[in-house]
């Protein structure tokens, strides 16, 4: 099990004297996830009753989540109010960037934790008070593993992969890409400088999740952004 957060992964090779410990860990893991799922369902019901579309943005650190959120706020705020929950281990940097971009934001600092959970999001919603018919964007802690296991009550997870990370990531971290409804391939402005194989990356993503929708864009230049905006519109 992840020793930082107890988040749902488990060692695959237990044997002999470690078998009892393994069973205990699996029980704890099931308890943690069951409790989280109960909170997530409450969040989902609350959001649904108010017609709030909640998206959970998950990725490794630095893939461009906050940059994409800044662009999304600029694009959406005239038509639909946008609210943001930011998750990081430390600092208020991202919430400050979001407020600067024009949307209300609550920052959650997880300390040693490596993902957001549904209770944290519940607390943040109570502080943020997202209004009816709005868009609630949740930026998870940068981590390609643990956030995959935690339902926050969102409509769906959005996995962001930047082209600087390598096309093999969907195969190496399959849980994240199978948990997501859409994969944003970000930083495509950098493709001319890299040997990133776009077709191979998409093929890997579809191997772990045949139904995954793929949007290629540059959050910096705005190229391809309409694919993301159209996808959000389709979800509303």
Ligand X SMILES: Nc1nc2c(ncn2[C@@H]2O[C@H](COP(=O)(O)OP(=O)(O)OP(=O)(O)O)[C@@H](O)[C@H]2O)c(=O)[nH]1
Interacting residue ranges for ligand X, rule: CB under 6 A: 59, 61-67, 88, 94, 142, 186-187, 189-190, 218-220
187 touches, from Mg ion, ligand X, none (C-beta below 5 to 8 Å by class) = ligand X
Find the shortest distance in angstroms from Cβ 66 to ligand X.
Answer: 3
Identify which of residues 33 and 121 has a Cβ nearer to ligand X in the complex. Answer: 121
Q: Which residue has the CB atom at the shortest distance from Mg ion?
A: 66
Three-state DSSP at 189 gives helix
Question: d(Cα 139, Cα 60) in Å, to the nearest integer?
Answer: 11
List the structure tokens of 188: 């495509």
Question: In degrees rounded to 5, what are phi and psi of residue 204?
Answer: -65, -45
222 touches, from ligand X, Mg ion, none (C-beta below 5 to 8 Å by class) = none
Q: Which of 103, 162, 161, 171 is nearest to 131 (CA)?
A: 103
Q: Which residue has the CB atom at the shortest distance from ligand X?
A: 142
Identify which of residues 70 and 167 has a Cβ nearer to Mg ion in the complex. Answer: 70
Find the shortest distance in angstroms from Cβ 130 to ligand X.
Answer: 20
Identify which of residues 29 and 94 has a Cβ nearer to ligand X in the complex. Answer: 94
Q: Which of 232, 67, 56, 54 is nearest to 162 (CA)?
A: 67
Identify which of residues 32 and 146 has a Cβ nearer to ligand X in the complex. Answer: 146
218 touches, from Mg ion, ligand X, none (C-beta below 5 to 8 Å by class) = ligand X
Identify which of residues 66 and 218 has a Cβ nearer to Mg ion in the complex. Answer: 66
Count of H-run helices and E-run strands, the chain: 8, 7
Question: d(Cα 115, Cα 127) in Å, to the nearest integer?
Answer: 19
Question: d(Cα 15, Cα 3) in Å, to the nearest integer?
Answer: 19
Find the shortest distance in angstroms from Cβ 127 to ligand X.
Answer: 20
Question: d(Cα 205, Cα 107) in Å, to the nearest integer?
Answer: 30
Contacts of 24 (CB under 8 A, 6+ apart): none
Question: In degrees rounded to 5, what are phi and psi of residue 58?
Answer: -125, 140
Identify which of residues 33 and 185 has a Cβ nearer to Mg ion in the complex. Answer: 185
147 touches, from ligand X, Mg ion, none (C-beta below 5 to 8 Å by class) = none
Three-state DSSP at 120 gives helix
Find the shortest distance in angstroms from Cβ 74 to ligand X.
Answer: 14
Find the shortest distance in angstroms from Cβ 103 to ligand X.
Answer: 15
Contact (Cβ atoms closer than 8 angstroms) between residue 179 and residue 205: no
105 touches, from ligand X, Mg ion, none (C-beta below 5 to 8 Å by class) = none
Contacting positions for Mg ion (CB under 5 A): 65-66, 94
Find the shortest distance in angstroms from Cβ 201 to ligand X.
Answer: 15
């Amino acid at each position: 099990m992840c020793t930082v957060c107890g988040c749902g992964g488990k060692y695959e090779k237990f044997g002999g004297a470690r078998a009892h410990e393994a069973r205990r860990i699996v029980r704890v893991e099931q308890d943690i996830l069951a409790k989280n799922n109960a909170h997530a369902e409450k969040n989902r019901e609350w959001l649904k009753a108010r017609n709030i579309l909640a998206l959970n943005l998950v990725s490794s650190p630095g893939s461009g989540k906050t940059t994409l959120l800044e662009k999304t706020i600029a694009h959406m705020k005239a038509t639909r109010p946008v609210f943001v929950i930011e998750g990081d281990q430390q600092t208020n940097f991202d919430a400050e960037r979001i407020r600067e971009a024009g949307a209300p934001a609550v920052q959650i600092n997880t300390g040693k934790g490596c993902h957001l959970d549904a209770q944290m999001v519940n607390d943040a919603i109570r502080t943020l008070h997202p209004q009816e018919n709005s868009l609630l964007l949740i930026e998870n802690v940068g981590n390609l593993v643990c956030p995959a296991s935690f339902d926050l009550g969102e409509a769906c997870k959005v996995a962001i992969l930047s082209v600087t990370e390598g096309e093999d990531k969907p195969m190496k971290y399959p849980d994240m890409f199978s948990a997501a409804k859409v994969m944003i391939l970000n930083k495509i402005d950098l493709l001319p400088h890299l040997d990133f194989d776009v077709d191979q990356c998409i093929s890997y993503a579809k191997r772990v999740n045949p139904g995954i929708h793929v949007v290629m864009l540059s959050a910096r230049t705005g190229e391809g952004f309409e694919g993301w905006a159209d996808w959000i519109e389709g979800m509303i």
